[in-house]
Amino acid sequence: MSDDKIKVGLIGLGSIAQRGILPHTFQDDARTKIDAVAVCDAVPGRAEATAEKWVWRDAYVDYDEMLARADIDAVLIATPIPLHYRQIMAALEAGKHVYTQKTMTTRLEEANDIVALAARKGLTVCASPGEMLRAPYPQMKEAIQKGLIGRPYWSLAGMQSGGHEYEAFRKEGDVLSNVDPTWYYKKGGGPVYDMTVYCLHEMTGILGPAKRVQAMSGIGLPVRTWKGKDIEVEMDDNTHITIDFGDALFGFAYGANCRGGPIPRIAIFGSEGCVYADRPGGGGGPRAVITGPKVPGGEMDLDLPGMPYRVGPHLEIGEAHGYADIMHFVDCLRTGTKPIPSAEHARHVVEIIDRAYQSARDGRAYDLTTTF
């Protein structure tokens, strides 16, 4: 494509869109690259209210109608995770490039379909989360490649939070913020697809593709409550995955809907040192520390650049990492380059998760078949 604006449609106008994608893409610098053509949501009235508030041209309730009628080059997908596969495939069949929120899909077979169809159609798929686009993960990888921790032995990474029913955004009653979190506790939801996916992209981005997985998983709280309504939990909310990268290099990743504590976002331990990262969004922003005899004084903070595209008003708007992924996708379309958060990397993470759940059911380890 040329340097002209990319004409986009956005499907899924819930929490991520309202708190992040829409306010970011409303800003002047984003609108120099994006032509905000169409928004779509199945909830009656939500697309129209969104288009009016955030100045998008057209509003749709039906996704297939948007694909058929709207003059768009690309689709941004921010719907619940179980809907992604069908929506990505429909967009590709319609000849549209695709950006999708995490997780790209929930099953390896579906991810294989997406990669194959995109290749056959000559279309670009950019799949969040783009962890290797931003600090501290490329800097951690470079420190390891320089031998600053010696031979890597193992890695720890994970995320946990109380649950989406506690989000302040969802407590209001208007059509834009009254976003029901029930889907999150049904099949295709849960903390691994929603949160641990970040950690798996980080771990594999730094250490490379995994070879084998084994896991334990289950449901801790069988019932959740949102606005006085009980939600029967059908998806595991407590999952722990052991990952074999080969050559006696291992990883451990977890995702749980429980309260968190003072645990690093990701840590990699080596024969002569350790490099670890604090949770993003903490005091002072992202921070990565390397320890060991090969660094001055035995401990050193890595020099971390700011997040791409997070400038000006974007510093004050939430979900900046998702906006950075979208603008990276847009710039890749404008320049004809392949996105770093590729469909192939996302497929590998999907396989890790898919096989981890299978392992938890069967009580055995599973070899992985994909790479990136």
pLDDT at 204: 98
Q: What is the pLDDT of residues 303-321, one digit of tens each?
A: 999 999 999 999 999 999 9
d(CA 63, CA 200): 30
Instruction: Determine whether domain 152-270+342-367 maps to CATH 1.10.287.990.
Output: no
| Pairing relationship of beta strands 299-301 and 229-232 according to DSSP bridges | unpaired
Is 152-270+342-367 the same fold as 6-127?
Answer: no
Give me the chain's average pLDDT, please.
94
| Pairing relationship of beta strands 229-232 and 34-40 according to DSSP bridges | unpaired
With cut-offs at 50, 70 and 90, classify the pLDDT of residue 2: very low
Helix axes 343-362, 108-121, angle to 10 degrees: 160
Helices H, strands E: what count in the chain?
12, 17
Domain residue limits, the chain: 6-127, 152-270+342-367
Q: CB atoms < 10 A from the CB of 211, how many?
A: 14
d(CA 208, CA 196): 17
Q: Which CATH superfamily is domain 6-127 in?
A: NAD(P)-binding Rossmann-like Domain (3.40.50.720)
d(CA 161, CA 260): 6
Is it the case that residue 254 has pLDDT exceeding 50?
A: yes
Cβ partners under 8 Å of residue 46, min gap 6? 13, 175, 176
pLDDT at 280: 56
Check: pTM over 0.85? Answer yes or no.
Answer: yes
Burial of 83 (0-12, 13-18, 19+ CB in 10 A): middle
% of the chain surpassing 90 pLDDT: 88
